Amino acid sequence: MSLLNQLFNRGVFGGKCKTSLNLAISRIKLLQNKRDLQQKHMRKEIAQFLQAGQEPIARIRVEHVIREQNIWAAYEILELFCEFILARVPIIESQRECPTELREAIASIIFAAPRCSDVPDLLQLKNLFNAKYGKEFVSAISELRPDSGVNRTIIEKLSVHAPSGDVRLKVLKEIAREFNVDWDSSNTEAEFSKSHEDLLGGSKQISAATGDSIVPAKHGSFKSTTSIEASQSITPTHGKQEPQHLQVPKSLSKMPSFGTNEIQPSIRDDDAPPAIDFKHETRPRSSDVLERARAAIASAERASAAARAAAELANVQF
């Protein structure tokens, strides 16, 4: 009984396979003729765009021409593979495993079946090979695993990647030469060779400008905080010391007394210099910067002298 089923299934597979192969071959020939007419029409339009000086449109349209050329070349290879398998259908029926000499042809048809929607007969062939050789065999080919056996030209022609600039320029020159268009390709060559800037990283000029504007603000804040800290360090000493109630020893009687009236001027001199308006003057002159630096140093020295005097008075008190 199993032998009868095997013979019956073998005859069914062979009949369906031959029918699908014949339909695929005839359909591919019709599609090739149709695509030939489309390519001629598209190439003529691109030549008109080049002659009218509309190169940006021609650069976009040429990608469609290249795509049609790739599909046409893939159809030509698939047609040869279908004819080759059609002649070897009895060998496929007699063997349980895929024959080595038919591996490339069968794998290429399985790989191209979902990518060539205009030829539904290839999907029928894929289903037949799936039923005969198993899902693992078909999935290995669809995923392009090592030793899948798919033709390299089929993979390249049916890929969805955009053509390179050199390929587009070559096709444009061929079209201009075919229709005798006097076209200067220098602008197109410059456009294709241009390296596009990565806008995700931001502009370098903006970051540099922000860095320059931040530096003066930091210096200004440093000066103001220094003067504030100096004044804060001196102010608490005035609250603690009371020079009119101090009893200075005889050994220290000759030291000059520092009252509140003498220390306060130094505190007033220690006031922070006027803030610089960076909105109106983002880049101050070098002479102004030096003068402000000298004034800040002088005020810092006076503040340190007053602080030392206050510390000595505090030590005398205790």
For residue range 147-184, list pLDDT tens digits in order: 899 999 999 999 988 899 899 999 999 999 999 999 98
- Residues 111, 142 contacting (CB under 8 angstroms): yes
Does residue 199 lie in a domain region? Answer: no
Question: Tens digits of per-residue pLDDT, 44-100?
Answer: 999 999 999 999 999 999 999 999 999 999 999 999 999 999 999 999 999 999 999
- Which conformational region is residue 180 in: left (phi greater than 0), alpha (psi within -120 to 50 degrees), or beta? left
Q: Which residues contact 97 (CB under 8 A, 6 or more apart)?
A: 133
State whether 6 and 122 are in the same domain.
Answer: yes
pLDDT tens figures, 226-262: 444 444 444 444 444 444 444 444 444 444 444 444 4
Return d(Cα 18, Cα 203) in angstroms, integer: 63
Q: Can you give the pLDDT at residue 187?
A: 87
**Residue 152 falls inside a structural domain:** yes
| pTM above threshold 0.85 | no
Look at residue 78 and tell me if it is in a domain. yes
CA-based Rg of the chain, rounded to a whole angstrom? 45
Q: Are residues 149 and 10 in the same domain?
A: yes
Q: Is residue 198 a part of any domain in this protein?
A: no
What does pLDDT average to over the chain? Answer: 77
What value does the mean pLDDT take over residues 286-302? 82
258 within domain boundaries: yes
Q: Residue 161 is part of a domain; what is its CATH number?
A: 1.20.1260.60
Going by C-alpha positions, the residue among 296, 238, 303, 237 that lies closest to residue 268 is 303
Residue 63 lies in a domain: yes
Q: Number of structural domains, the chain?
A: 2
Rounded-to-integer distance, Cα 22 and Cα 28, Å: 10
Task: Quote the CA–CA distance of 281 and 14 in Å, as a whole number.
Answer: 90
Question: What pLDDT is stored for residue 224 in this prediction?
Answer: 43
SS (H, E, C) the chain: CHHHHHHHHHHHHHHHHHHHHHHHHHHHHHHHHHHHHHHHHHHHHHHHHHHCCCHHHHHHHHHHHHHHHHHHHHHHHHHHHHHHHHHCHHHHHHCCCCCHHHHHHHHHHHHHHHHCCCCHHHHHHHHHHHHHHCHHHHHHHHCCCCCCCCCHHHHHHCCCCCCCHHHHHHHHHHHHHHCCCCCCCHHHHHHHHCCCCCHHHCCHHHHHHHHHHHHHHHHHHHHHHHHHHHHHHHHHHHHHCCHHHCCCCHHHCCCCCCCHHHHHHHHHHCCCCCCCCCCCCCCCCHHHHHHHHHHHHHHHHHHHHHHHHHHHHHHHHC
Q: Are residues 181 and 214 in the same domain?
A: no
pLDDT at 99: 93
Amino acid at 39: Q
Query: Can you give the residue range of the structural domain that contains 185?
Result: 2-193
- 87 and 227 part of one domain: no
Give the whole-angstrom CA distance, residue 126 versus residue 148.
15
The per-residue pLDDT for range 123-144, each reduced to its tens digit, is 999 999 999 999 999 999 999 9
Token output for 96: 């349980």
Kindly state whether residues 83 and 169 are assigned to the same domain. yes
